[in-house]
Structure 1
Amino acid sequence: MGAVENALDNTEHRLPGEAVEILKSLAANWGDVLDPNELQVIRLKGAMTNQVFQIKWPTKTEDVSRKVIFRIYGEGVEVFFDRDDEIRTFEFMSKHGQGPRLLGRFPNGRIEEFIHARTLSASDLRDTEISSLIASKMKEFHDLDMPGQKNVRLWERLRNWLRVAKSLSLPEEAEAFCLDNIEEEIPILEEEFSQAYQCIGFCHNDLQYGNIMIDEETNSITIIDYEYASYNPVAFDIANHFCEMAADYHTETPHILDFNKYPGLEERQRFVRTYLSFSGTCE
């Protein structure tokens, strides 16, 4: 869920009142919490669009605590994704055992099950065994039959993001970032990815290391954070994952990719072979 940043002193006044009542009710229902009012809030770092906290309570068993994840939605993110879509996706995944369970909702956030697993690091993506687990889990994710329309969202999003970027950029900034070139490239890519041989699946669209967790006892992978998830060409999701290997979200410039770290041909082929070996709808 992200690395621990710091414990916040006493807790409640920093959280929405309605959410605090939900947290206390959860703790009371568990029955083993010493005092539902004695909750500790720990800020987690690494989240880009939300404020994410770990909430924990001491229990009657020594050195054991109850934990949940508390998420406050970021402001101004509607330009990037539809929050209602993300919530529907989270609820579907929760019901089908594909991610953390939904424990509670409040107007500007939610409370999630704490997964006893480790969030991956950038170097984990290059580990051959972990990469193989990710490839298989990605295929399973792509084969999910999400309710609702199964329309490709990629091109609409790219055009919308480009429109916003141009509206916020000075002419020299637009030129430096080649925004006009991007506008010309989108229809070219759209035509290529609209061919009949392209497999369409339910894509995560943000499969960076901070959104992947591993249970090191069972070697099971859990994919979290579905803000950008939608139906898209699965080739896009695979390519995006490769690009995420060039990212470091724990620097002052998380948006700048180091393509010296981009996986080589052999590494990409190994990932795709594992992906294709996992049985599913796209062969």
Structure 2
Amino acid sequence: MASVENGLPGEANRILKSLASSWGDTIDGLQVIPLKGAMTNEVYQIKWPTKEKKQSRKVLARIYGEGVEVFFDREDEIRTFEFMSNHGQGPRLLGRFPNGRIEEFIHARTLSASDLCDPDISALIAAKMKEFHDLDMPGPKKVFLWDRLRNWLRTAKSMSSPEEAVAFRLDALDEEIAILEKTLSHDNQLIGFCHNDLQYGNIMIDEETKSITIIDYEYASYNPVAYDISNHFCEMAADYHTETPHILDYEKYPGLEERQKFVRIYLSCSGSNQPSDLEIKQLIQDVEKYTLANHLLWGLWGIISEHVNEIDFDYMEYARQRLQQYWLRKPELLGSS
């Protein structure tokens, strides 16, 4: 079973062979099916017939993207993955190889862009998000957002041509990050273990049980929960499964009523006490302001990705749109700050 036959590294094939053997199968008729929508890694569904040939065995292979180590610490991500797996939060880890891993294939449906607008599904996501944020992840429980922004800005500057630096106003962003950190940080904000990339492709639903599973923890860290919720809202503008997956439509950003409903459900999952109108209003205000940090972060991600990632996606145009939104919304959200 040479890797050239199916596009998988030799180490991945050896793990698959070993897994199949442990399950009493032989890997005959192996199928490798690329899954669309991933923008950091290449993801494949791997299937082969079981010994009885009546059904297929399925696992997921994840090949890490080239150069994406600039975005996160892979060992941290693996530790998070294993913690989640041990706490029944995501797929089990079945094997690791140098540039990827084999995961359990979750028998659930990955959400589509339109699912995020479904009130019933949105309510399930809000509740699941609260559960995720309440996880007691080992390690320091400090906000990581501002360090990440500064690190990514340094990386973007080091990779960009002078023309790109001017076009994206990179020299102005150090000050913008400082303004955001000073304006958005306050003592009573809720801090939790955040996913930080809650787009529809990272959320799965079991149609029978209506249970939600959150997957892909590359960017997960402790952060203000308002930042994570705002990231989810911003992702409603995206559909990564069109002919132009990089184009964002901010007309799809949820209206005030939708945001209120989501936040009310989120806060209601805290316990017996229903959230007050003031708590809901405060979190909604924080969420809106944190959209600015999201636009900056993912704008920088797009610039860096253009230089390190081989995936077919117009990262620069994506970055342009995110940074354009930042400058457009800042006066309205921060006033004269």
The normalised TM-score by structure 1 is 0.89
- 1:76 counterpart = 2:67: yes
Match of 2:109 among 115, 118, 132: 118
Is the contact between residue 50 and residue 56 of structure 2 (CA under 8 Å) also seen in structure 1?
yes
What RMSD, in angstroms, separates the aligned Cα atoms of the two structures?
2.2
Is the contact between residue 121 and residue 210 of structure 1 (CA under 8 Å) also seen in structure 2?
yes
Is the contact between residue 12 and residue 97 of structure 2 (CA under 8 Å) also seen in structure 1?
yes
Q: Which residue of 1 aligns with 2:269?
A: 278
Q: Which residue of 2 aligns with 1:27?
A: 20
SS in structure 1 at match of 2:147: helix
Deviation at 1:253, TM superposition (A): 4.8
Is the contact between residue 11 and residue 39 of structure 1 (CA under 8 Å) also seen in structure 2?
no
Is the contact between residue 24 and residue 37 of structure 1 (CA under 8 Å) also seen in structure 2?
no
Q: Which residue of 1 aligns with 2:169?
A: 178
The one-letter code matched in structure 2 to 1:197 is N
The one-letter code matched in structure 2 to 1:16 is P
The one-letter code matched in structure 2 to 1:24 is K
The one-letter code matched in structure 1 to 2:265 is T
Is the contact between residue 132 and residue 193 of structure 2 (CA under 8 Å) also seen in structure 1?
yes
For residues 184-221 of structure 1, what are the alpha-carbon distances to aligned partners after superposition, in whole Å with 9 as ceiling and x for unaligned?
22112212333111111100000000000000000000
2-side partners of 1:88 and 1:272: how far apart? 29
Deviates more, 1:178-187 or 1:258-267: 178-187
1-side partners of 2:186 and 2:107: how far apart? 42
2-side partners of 1:212 and 1:194: how far apart? 28
Is the contact between residue 49 and residue 74 of structure 1 (CA under 8 Å) also seen in structure 2?
yes
Deviation at 1:54, TM superposition (A): 0.9
Residues 253 and 191 (structure 1 numbering): CA distance in 2 closer, same or farther, change over 3 Å? farther
For residues 236-255 of structure 1, what are the alpha-carbon distances to aligned partners after superposition, in whole Å with 9 as ceiling and x for unaligned?
00001000000121246544
* Superposition map of 1:1-283 within 5 A: 12=5, 14-31=7-24, 33=25, 35-61=26-52, 63-251=54-242, 253-279=244-270
Residues 214 and 172 (structure 1 numbering): CA distance in 2 closer, same or farther, change over 3 Å? same
Is the contact between residue 3 and residue 9 of structure 2 (CA under 8 Å) also seen in structure 1?
no
For residues 59-80 of structure 1, what are the alpha-carbon distances to aligned partners after superposition, in whole Å with 9 as ceiling and x for unaligned?
2445411100011111100121
Q: Which residue of 2 aligns with 1:3?
A: none
The one-letter code matched in structure 2 to 1:236 is Y
Higher strand residue share: 1
Runs of 4+ in 1 over 6 A off after TM superposition: none
The one-letter code matched in structure 1 to 2:23 is W
Is the contact between residue 91 and residue 102 of structure 1 (CA under 8 Å) also seen in structure 2?
yes
Higher helix residue share: 2
Deviation at 1:181, TM superposition (A): 3.9
Residues 153 and 243 (structure 1 numbering): CA distance in 2 closer, same or farther, change over 3 Å? same
Deviation at 1:12, TM superposition (A): 4.6
For structure 1, list consecutive stretches of 5 or more residues without a partner in the other structure.
1-8
For structure 2, list consecutive stretches of 5 or more residues without a partner in the other structure.
276-337
Deviates more, 1:11-20 or 1:117-126: 11-20
